Amino acid sequence: MTAQLPILTVAPLLFGAFAVTAGRFLYRRANYAVAALALALSFAASVLLAVQVLAHGTTTYFVGGWPPPIGISYVADPLSALMLAFVSGAALCVFLASKAEIETSYPLKNSAFFALFLLAAAGHMGIVATGDAFNLYVLIEVAALSGYAILAQGKDRAMLSSLNYLFVGSFGASLYLLGIGYLYLMTGSLNMADLSAIIGRLGGVGSSTALAAAFGIILAGLWVKMALFPFHSWLPAAYSFSAAPAAALVAPLTTKVMAYVLVRLIISLFTPNEAWSVPAVNTLAVGLATAAILYGSFCALGERSLRRMLCFILLSEVGYMVGGAFLGNRAGLTGTIYHIFADLLMTLCLFLAASNVERATGGRFSDMGGLFRRMPATSAALVAGGLSMIGVPPFCGFFSKWYLLSGAISAGSYLFAGALVLSSLVNAVLFFRIFEIGFFRPAPGQDGGGQAGHAAPPPLGRDEMPLARLIPLGVAASSLVAAGLLAGEIVTRVAGAVIPPGLG
Amino acid sequence: MDTIASATAALPTLVSVTPLLAVCAPLAAVPGIVLAGERSPNRREAWTFLGAATAFLLVLSMLPAALSGTRVEYVVANVLPGAPLAFSVDGPGLLFALTASFLWIVTSMYSVGYMRGLSEHAQTRYFAFFAVSVSAALGVALSANLFTLYLFYEILSFATYPLVAHHQDAEAVSSGRKYLGYIVGGSIALVLPAMIAVAALSGTLAFTPGGVLPASVGAPVAGLLLVAFAFGFAKAALMPMHAWLPAAMVAPTPVSALLHAVAVVKVGVFSVYRVVTGILGTNFLSSLHLGDVLVWAAVVTMIAASLVALTQDGLKKRLAYSTIGQLAYVVLGAALLTPRGELGGLLHIAMHACGKITLFFCAGAIFVATGEKYISRLGGLGRRMPLTFAAFFVGAMSIIGVPPTAGFVSKWQILLGAAETGRYAVVAALCASSLLSAAYFLPVVFAAFFGRPPEDAAWAETAKARGEGGVGEAPLWCVLPPLITAACALVLFWWPDVLARLAGGTP
């Protein structure tokens, strides 16, 4: 059983998707439970796998019993195992929190939504688990296509922006496929471990134009998929017009899983030293990352609704991850890896909180007066997410900043370091602007009480969400502190285990 | 020259969970405070007192170890290489922790009198965040390295925001902005990069006697780091990073008393002290002649803040500027880079705390009893509130530094320290600053006892109408705390030995 764990992390989701589709015609009422069960099974398998891998080392599973390089292998090393646990946990959290939201957002299409949700989760899980470069492309498309479908169902321009995302996303995925084609041309293999060995024998990226082109094209494809500035334009629209559950699933997963693929590209497909051997690429990547951080921060300042602001913050977080991966030192890469986990949790927490806030107020800043009084638990989670984004210890956001900043300082990338610090400050402004509204302004329809200073504001009823939505949110919020306190463990046992020794 | 440093380097250590418990004790009271809520205020306040007493006793239990020269250590989690989340209790840390936790008990008494006396809103929130703030202040005092210190420093910044903005009106909004702008801006933009630079240069952030920087670091880098830390720790309120402190006076008076005279601002100067002695290293700084930078920043702040204090009519505003000036003494003590300077600076943390908290308590008691906030309207009030103004007088004497009050002890050591290093200009500045503080406090006391009440003062009218002309103090819970702290200010002049030994000296 334990040998099959890597595939068991993905299989329940895939079969769950089929079961839910079939269940539409058989017994519709069980569908929510079936989908939740699939997610729970996947999460349980991932946690078991992570425990096993952290204790005993890497596990590899050959799909269908075919050994590589012919067959597809699923590889669980410390990084992918922990990532699987995070991804499946996030999907489960979103699903449990969104039951009511799904029923109102997708009337009559519940089952379709469940199936697509499971497929999207399966795609993201598969991308993390697979050890095969072509299979990875397939799974990118599985994740993306189901993502387009669930993001398209929303208000205003949801369909149009999802279509836009489809065009750009397909372009990015095609670039990735093209790069893999180049690699296959040069090596005759698609298995990542095998590819890496052959590339090493061929003499690395610098040895041939085709390999260098493959590296560059794959990189470009990933940047498009992860919405790095200036390939970002699809993201804010696609994530902000969709219904809340879709955004809460896709926003924490897609950009982070793509950043994970980027890390895999650097450490597993190539080696860090090869990947960083072209100074122009490093300069370009760190430059774009700096631009992404600044662009995201300043655009976020201009937004007047919670979810759109979070989307732009997400853009600058992408900059964090790309920049750290190309600083060319161990601290930077560690920062990127840790930030993948940290940002996944932060985005999860903030999007879940935003979904609650939207439900109660509509999510525009102007309607969020009195929020702290009306929704104390949701506000507390929003504060936790905000403080983590600002980078306050012991929240996890601080520790990624720590590694990224020390990487930037030792690499001499002071512009990138400056952008990181500036984005922390801008985040402080962004979140405290919301806190001010929630704390000081009277709720809509209430007169401004307490202007004299001592008169108590008029008592206002609680408008808090049901526990079913608050418990997953609470788990997400407390995981921010837990991930922060476990930063040392994650860095030494996960990042330290996969980054090759001897990097400066 | 660093006899203290070499003595502490060889300190035996004792692994104990007590520091963690002391930091958690106030936090543990928070659920109790919140659950009791507005429905049963007495039960809620009981939780505050329970937390305060437990924290104080836990801190006190480490006193014998600290006095015998043993370091109490506890590692909570290894979160960063070279910088675990860890506590290490030495004399200076315990001195600060004792001051903060003892004064929290007194302030809690005062909070009850003040908040109930004015029927303030949201008292549950107030007491809950107060407990979190004290916990963070204790964390700073007991932390073993710069990372742990930064962690609690930041928690303190955010936990005090709801206290500063308590009234939730327009003035609270703008003050809250200013408060966070300076404090969080300083810590993220200056301290965080400086801290990471130190970690990159030396590989550790542990407070080590003699500093952690390698000798290869030159004066420009070390100077930059010193400036980043000294001004980045904006809670120390070195000019020009001081403007948040007068703004924060919109908070309820107990907050101004404990946080903006003791906990928050002392966390700032204590952080500067830790960085100067434990991270950059006194020998290292003096070999590069970098102490002067800090000395002059402190002297300028001291004099300028006192001059501004003269112009303030708002009683709390005047106290705030006085605090800014007095904080500079602690920075100055550390910046002298001599054992005597350190001793004086550390003692001033406790001595100034007793004096200034008394003054704030009195300001609040006056407000509760009469509603007066301005110095120009306090004439004759001393005859009506003799106990309050007697305490005010003692507190003022202590701030000025007149024997037999506690302020003299620490100021004397700083003065001697400045003289020992041959900085006679600084000695003159210290004297001038004391004269200035006499000039901004004594007229208040004089007017209160010998002046005439303002024509339209409601309190004077009612007193006259009732034909009493006699005593009309604030509620007991508002009057007792300043009397206690004033008594402390007197007692500490005669028996400063324990505190002095904690601060590392044998006077």
Task: Tell me, letter by letter, the H, E, C secondary structure of A124-193.
Answer: HHHHHHECEHHHHHHHHHHHHHHHHHHHHCECCCHHHHHHHHHHHHHHHHHHHHHHHHHHHHHHCCCEHH
Question: Do the chains contact at B151 and A394, CB–CB below 8 Å?
Answer: yes
Residues 49-78 of B with CB under 8 A from A: 77-78
Measured in degrees and rounded to the nearest 5, phi and psi for residue A72 equal: -95, 135
* SS3 of A396-453: HHHHHHHHHHHHHHHHCCHHHHHHHHHHHHHHHHHHHHHHHHHHHCCCCCCCCCCCCC
User: What count of CB pairs under 8 Å joins A to B?
Assistant: 93
Residue of B nearest to A384 (CA): B158
Residues 129-148 of B with CB under 8 A from A: 147
- Partners of B73 in beta bridges: B15, B88
Q: Using DSSP, state whether A118 is helix, strand or coil.
A: helix
| List of residues 6+ apart from A383 with CB closer than 8 A | A431, A435
Q: Which residues of B touch A386 (CB under 8 A)?
A: none
Is the CB of B165 less than 8 angstroms away from the CB of A425?
A: no
- CB distance A485–B162 less than 8 Å? no
CB contact under 8 A, B79 and A425: no
Q: Do B77 and A485 touch (CB under 8 A)?
A: yes
| Contacting residues of A for B174, CB less than 8 Å apart | none
**Per the domain annotation, does B486 fall within a domain?**
yes
Distance of CA A310 to the CA centre of its chain: 13
- Give the pLDDT score at A455: 44
> Which chain B residue's Cα is nearest to A391?
B188
Cβ within 8 Å, pair A452-B169: yes
Q: How many CB atoms lie within 10 A of CB B39?
A: 9
Determine the distance from the C-alpha atom of residue A452 to the mean position of all C-alpha atoms in its chain, rounded to a whole number: 46
Question: What is the rounded CA–CA span in Å between residue A300 and residue A304?
Answer: 9
The minimum CA-CA distance between B371 and chain A, rounded to whole Å, is 13
User: B196 CB near a chain A CB, below 8 Å?
Assistant: yes
Name the band, by pLDDT with cuts 50, 70 and 90, for residue B39. confident
Residues 353-392 of A with CB under 8 A from B: 387, 390-392
Cβ atoms within 10 Å of A409's Cβ, excluding its own: 20
The model's pLDDT over B453-470, given as tens digits with 9 standing for 90+, comes to: 887 777 766 666 655 556
What are the chain A neighbours of B185 within 8 Å (beta carbons)? Answer: 425, 428
* Residue B433: pLDDT band with limits 50, 70, 90: very high
By the 10 Å C-beta count (0-12 exposed, 13-18 middle, 19+ buried), B458 is classed as: exposed
How confident is the prediction along chain A (504 residues), in pLDDT tens digits per residue?
678 888 999 999 999 999 988 887 887 778 889 999 999 999 999 999 999 999 998 899 998 888 888 889 999 999 999 999 999 999 999 999 988 888 888 777 788 889 999 999 999 999 999 999 999 999 999 999 999 999 988 877 889 999 999 999 999 999 999 999 999 999 989 999 999 999 988 888 878 888 999 999 999 999 999 999 899 999 999 999 898 899 999 999 999 999 999 999 999 898 898 889 889 999 999 999 999 999 999 999 999 999 999 999 999 999 999 999 999 999 999 999 999 999 999 999 999 999 999 988 888 888 888 888 888 899 999 999 999 999 998 999 999 999 999 999 999 999 999 999 999 999 999 999 999 998 888 877 665 444 444 444 445 567 788 888 899 999 999 999 999 999 999 999 999 889 988 776
B196 and A409 in contact by Cβ < 8 A?
A: yes
pLDDT of residue A1: 65
Split at pLDDT 50, 70, 90, the class of B68 is confident
- The whole-angstrom distance between B350's CA and the closest CA on chain A is 28
Contact (CB<8Å) A410/B200 = yes
Task: Kindly list the residues from chain A whose CB atom is less than 8 angstroms away from the CB atom of residue B170.
Answer: 451
Contact flag B165-A387 (C-beta cutoff 8 Å) = no
Which residue from B121, B192, B197 is facing A456, i.e. has the nearest CB? B121
Instruction: Tell if the CB–CB gap between A455 and B79 is shorter than 8 Å.
Output: no
Cβ–Cβ of A399/B85 closer than 8 Å? no
Per-window interface: A 472-501 vs B, CB < 8 A: 484-488, 491
**C-alpha span between B50 and B62 (Å, rounded):** 19
Determine, yes or no, domain membership for B103: no
Task: Give the per-residue pLDDT at A21.
Answer: 87
Closest residue, chain B, to A433 (C-alpha): B177
| B169/A451 Cβ within 8 A | yes
Tokens found for residue B325 = 């000036």
Cα-Cα-Cα-Cα torsion A109, A111, A115, A116, nearest 10 degrees, comes to 10
Judge contact between A401 and B199, C-beta under 8 A: no
How far is CA B118 from its chain centroid?
Answer: 25
Kindly indicate the confidence band of residue B46, based on its pLDDT and cuts at 50, 70 and 90: very high
Q: Is B80's CB within 8 Å of A402's CB?
A: yes
Residue A394 touches chain B, beta carbons under 8 Å: yes
Strands B13-15 and B71-80: parallel
Question: Per the CB < 8 Å rule, is A399 touching B79?
Answer: yes
Chain A residue numbers touching B192 (CB-CB < 8 A): 391, 401, 405, 421, 424
Q: Of B150-154, B380-384, B489-493, give the lowest mean pLDDT range.
A: B380-384
Full domain range(s) for residue B434 = 341-507
Q: Which residue of A has its CA nearest to B86?
A: A485
Quick one: closest CA in B to A409, which residue? Answer: B197
- Candidates B158, B160, B183: best to mutate against A (most CBs of A within 10 A) is B158
CB atoms within 10 A of CB A276: 22
| Partner A contacted by B193 (CB < 8 A) | yes
Residue B169: which of A394, A453, A491 has the nearest Cβ? A453
Contacts of B30 in chain A (CB under 8 A): none
Q: How far is CA B383 from CA A409, B365, B470, B473, in A?
A: 63, 15, 7, 10
Examine residue B352 and state whether it is found in any structural domain, yes or no: yes
Domain boundaries, chain A: 292-444+462-504
Which among A405, A439, A455 is the nearest to B196, CB-wise?
Answer: A405
Which positions in chain B touch A452 (Cβ < 8 Å)? 169
Q: Which residue of B has its CA nearest to A422?
A: B189
Q: Other CB atoms closer than 10 Å to residue A1's CB: what's the count?
A: 7
Q: Which two tokens stand for residue A448?
A: 């401004």
Who among B85, B170, B196 is closest to A402 (CB)? B196
Please report whether residue B148 resides in a domain.
Answer: no
The one-letter code for the residue type at B120 is: E
For chain B, the domain total comes to 1
pLDDT tens for B208-229 read 888 898 888 888 899 999 999 9
Comparing CB atoms, the residue among A393, A428, A491 nearest residue B151 is: A393
